[in-house]
Amino acid sequence: MPYVIERVRKCGVRYTAMYTDENGRYKSAGTYDREERAQQVAEQHERHVRLRLAETSPADRATITVRDFGVKFLREHAVEPNSKMTYAQLLSSHVYPFIGKRRVAEIGRETVHRLLTVVLPEEGASQNTVVNVRTCLSAMLQMAWDHGYRDDNPVKGIRLKHPPSGPIVVATVPQFQRVYAALPHHSAKVFARLGVSTGARYCELISFIPEDFDFGGCMLSVSKSTVEVTADFHPEGHRFLTRQYTKNGEHRRMKIDAEVAEMVREHIAVNNIGPGQLIFPVRLFAARTVATRRERMSEEEMEALGYTGPLPNGKQYKHGTMGAYVTAKCRCPGCMQWSADYGRSRKRRKTGRAEREWSAGWRRDPTEYMGKNTWYRIWNSAVEESHLPFRYTPYQVRHTHASWLIDQGVDLERVRHRLGHGDLTTTTRYVKILDEEDSTAADVMSELLKAGG
């Protein structure tokens, strides 16, 4: 039977949701701010356990809808949590609105083909989104086939034109140095320098701890990756999920240059980063301004504000109401507070997440991982200040690392190992960049035209 444990902590009272697993043992389903939310999660987990053990009847298999089967698919499909989150978003936005009420057993190849080639493009979905929807639908209907809900997978055999991949843009050494110089503080410079020196993915960079470095031997071990997920796809309802493996599952060790090793070592010492702690915690990059937030007005203070001034039609509206904010266009603290509360409640009703766990605008998470938005704001500001002739994204720093190495004659297999690619096919894309920038053909044409002129 699900129940809740009350825990008193320094930050206040928290509630742990407990449920019974398949073997009759109690397990935690996460800790939450509200007792009601903890009880709800505990009941959901126990209900899922019962569903896992129950055998679906033939009648239910014949009548289950795409939307209902999607719940089973997202619960049981063996895929990474961040990929499962993407599947959930694709189903909710691009599948359920059109065929969500159709029976899984009756979905035919023509229906899927029209959805992918006619309906979604007419609704404004990009070709990349359509391709991703096809992948998601294929996985879901394959599970339906495997579990006896239908006799085939209608998505198999449907071919779609993949969107052309955009050009891989890399920076020259002077261009990168201009962006590097524009970064606002030393921690950001260390993060960027380590990124371009190792080619590590962002999810790997934010996971580094001191034990990953051998400063004496100038070696770095890459063995973890951290991704952002919604609370629904995190075992404990948090924001960041750390996996004890990299994107392709392989741990790797690489040599780093002595200068960047010394920069990281000094960064650790200056910021008092201890064993097991994150080398690049979010507190060093973006200070939360919770202390400067406007204090909420009490009901008594709202009452004391009274009414707005009379409008041309003679009407007056009480402060902190829709009439005052929308009609009278009042922007006093009381009306602004009403507007913020109204916007949040409307969004929660729309998304069905009325009981989300928030603390001063931030979702509770016991870790200090730096989210992508934080780093992207810092990096993009530096790029804008540098006035580069192209849009230089944080991910293109990884491209820059690879192209610099290949340009200097480093063996492709060694570049593949540093980047953590599964095979050389992906790594050879960077050779094309150098071919595009090669001026040999252009120089030949120039000489020929000079000779002819």
- Tell me which H or E stretch contains 66: helix 66-76
CA distances from 206 to 51, 134, 194 (A): 37, 32, 11
C-alpha 427/C-alpha 216 separation (Å) is 30
* Residue 354: predicted pLDDT: 41
pLDDT digits (tens, 9 = 90+) for 32-51: 888 888 898 888 888 777 76
What's the length of the chain? Answer: 453
Angle at 345 between CA 344 and CA 347, to 5 degrees: 65
Q: Is the pTM of this model over 0.95?
A: no
CA atoms of 239 and 133, how far apart (whole Å): 25
Q: Is residue 307 classed exposed, middle or buried when 0-12, 13-18 and 19+ CB atoms within 10 A define those classes?
A: middle
CA 88, chain centre distance (Å)? 13
How many CB atoms lie under 10 A from the CB of residue 300? 7
Q: Which of 189, 192, 179 is nearest to 385 (CA)?
A: 179
Using the structure block, give the residue that is written with the tokens 């499909």: 77
Q: What is the pLDDT of residue 52?
A: 66
- The residues near 418 (Cβ < 8 Å, ≥ 6 apart) are 198, 199, 252, 254, 401, 405
Pair 144, 69: CB distance under 8 Å: yes
Rounded distance, CA 256 to CA 268, Å?
Answer: 16
CA distance 222 to 273: 19
pLDDT in tens, the chain (453 residues): 788 998 887 777 888 999 888 777 888 888 888 888 889 888 888 877 776 666 677 888 899 999 999 999 998 898 889 999 999 999 999 999 999 999 999 999 999 999 999 999 999 999 999 999 999 999 999 999 999 999 999 999 899 988 777 777 889 999 999 999 999 999 999 999 999 999 999 999 999 999 999 999 999 999 999 999 988 888 887 889 999 998 888 899 999 999 999 999 999 999 999 999 999 999 999 754 444 456 788 888 889 999 998 998 889 999 999 999 999 999 999 999 999 888 888 776 665 544 444 333 444 577 899 999 999 999 999 999 999 998 999 999 999 999 899 888 888 899 999 999 888 888 887 776 655 555 555 555 556 566 555
